[in-house]
Amino acid sequence: MSLKSALESGKFTVTAEVGPPKGTDIAKILHEAEALKGKVDALNVTDNQSAVMRISSMSFCKLLLDMGQEPILQMTCRDRNRIGLQSDLLGASILGIRNVLCMTGDHPNAGDHKEAKPVYDIESVQLLNIVRALNSGKDMMGNEMKGGTDYYQGAVVTPEAVPIEPQLMKFEKKVNAGAQFFQTQAIYDIEKFKGFMEFAGKFPVKILAGLVLLKSAGMANFMNKFVPGITVPQELIDELKEAGKEKALDAGIDIMARHIKQLKDEKICDGVHIMAIGAEDKVPLIMERAGLL
């Protein structure tokens, strides 16, 4: 089933993500993807995440399609200008890719090619508008094309950004620019997330709550300190600490399973986006504990 049909059927939808490696040895990512087959509804393929140069998202999306999986092409505006972005969108379309997640992209400063010239000719809101134009059979300049695309367009939002007001205004711009689904930055406080959903729920878009698997108390503290827009509450950090080093990952799996279950049972949002960050093989276990498998 396509991501669009899954979300529109009203089913509690689960997406996860894989990050292509640096280098052509793809044994590990293939294994991860295989483990998720038939479990999740769609799989994001990151686009040079954290501005670290890796295999292109589009290539791995095509391999996923060949494996019979539903890929979501992550597309950032960091590395391509408006010609490159549109050309790649057309290229991905003829490969059979139907889901695109439009984002601005981490600055090269975060990655392993800090000297790179950042592009950002276009940014996320404008990219959504461009996808909509391509879907209608025209390029962004209004030139008629021979054959348009048929993308299900997604975007991202940070529900715990500080300050939140400009973030919500940008969310609204993204909805108006054609976003049909959102995957959020990681959330850990479901009560706070309900507040966000009170706002976001008013719009005709599907929302997948982003969840990052906590592997240790140290990781949680690191994210609180260094990752913008993510706050891990102290009681969760304590829970990981109490579990001890050996069992911290297991406690992290429990925390995520518990959150998924609450989001689903209380019908807070349309699904979840699981970011296991290197522990993709644990996703089926998380889903099992959440009662989804």
Partner 1 sequence: MIITKKRDFKDLLENLKNYKSFFLIGCSECATLCGTGGEPELTAMKEALEAEGKTVTGTLHPKTGCQTLGTKIELKKDKEACNAADAIIVLSCGAGTQSAVEIFPDKPARFQMFDERCSLCGECVLDKTGGICPVTACPKGLLNGPCGGTDNGKCEVSPDIECAWVRIYERMKKTDQLEDFRKVLEPKDWSASRKPARLNTREKKEEKK
Q: Does 142 bind partner 1 (CB under 8 A)?
A: no
Query: Which one of 57, 129, 149, 153 is in contact with partner 1 (CB under 8 A)?
Result: 129
Q: Are 109 and 51 spatial neighbours (Cβ–Cβ below 8 Å)?
A: yes
CA atoms within 13 A on the CB side of 208: 35
Query: Which one of 115, 144, 165, 198 is in contact with partner 1 (CB under 8 A)?
Result: 165
Which one, of 217, 196, 218, lies nearest residue 205 by Cα? 196
Q: Does 203 bind partner 1 (CB under 8 A)?
A: no
Q: Does 120 bind partner 1 (CB under 8 A)?
A: yes
**Whole-number minimum distance, CB 189 to partner 1, in Å?**
17
Q: Does 118 bind partner 1 (CB under 8 A)?
A: yes
Strand partners, 144: 138
Q: Which residues contact 48 (CB under 8 A, 6 or more apart)?
A: 54, 56, 57, 76, 78, 79, 105, 111
62-81 binders of partner 1 (CB under 8 A): 78
Neighbours of 43 (CB within 10 A): 26
Which one, of 234, 232, 230, lies nearest residue 161 by Cα? 230
Binding pattern for the stretch 229-268 against partner 1, x by CB under 8 A and - elsewhere:
x---------------------------------------
Query: Which one of 1, 67, 110, 293 is in contact with partner 1 (CB under 8 A)?
Result: 110
Q: Does 218 bind partner 1 (CB under 8 A)?
A: no
CA 241 to chain centre: 28
Q: Does 204 bind partner 1 (CB under 8 A)?
A: no
Q: Does 1 bind partner 1 (CB under 8 A)?
A: no
Number of residues forming the site for partner 1 (CB under 8 A): 35
**Whole-number minimum distance, CB 291 to partner 1, in Å?**
30
CA distance 286 to 250: 10
Q: Does 189 bind partner 1 (CB under 8 A)?
A: no
Give φ, ψ of 228 to 5 degrees.
-60, 140
Q: Does 87 bind partner 1 (CB under 8 A)?
A: no
**Whole-number minimum distance, CB 120 to partner 1, in Å?**
4
Q: Does 106 bind partner 1 (CB under 8 A)?
A: yes
Q: Does 109 bind partner 1 (CB under 8 A)?
A: yes
**Whole-number minimum distance, CB 145 to partner 1, in Å?**
18
Between 61 and 161, name the residue whose CB sits nearer to partner 1: 161
**In the chain, what are the helix, strand and coil shares in percent, each to the nearest 5?**
45, 15, 40
Q: Identify the burial level of 135 via C-beta atoms within 10 angstroms of its C-beta, where 0-12 means exposed, 13-18 middle and 19 or more buried.
A: middle
CA distance 249 to 76: 31
CA distance 93 to 101: 13
Binding pattern for the stretch 5-24 against partner 1, x by CB under 8 A and - elsewhere:
--------------------
Q: Is 105 helix (H, G, I), strand (E, B) or coil?
A: coil
Residues that bind partner 1 (CB under 8 A): 78, 82, 103-104, 106-107, 109-110, 118, 120-126, 129, 140, 156, 158, 161-163, 165-167, 169-170, 172-173, 176-177, 185, 228-229
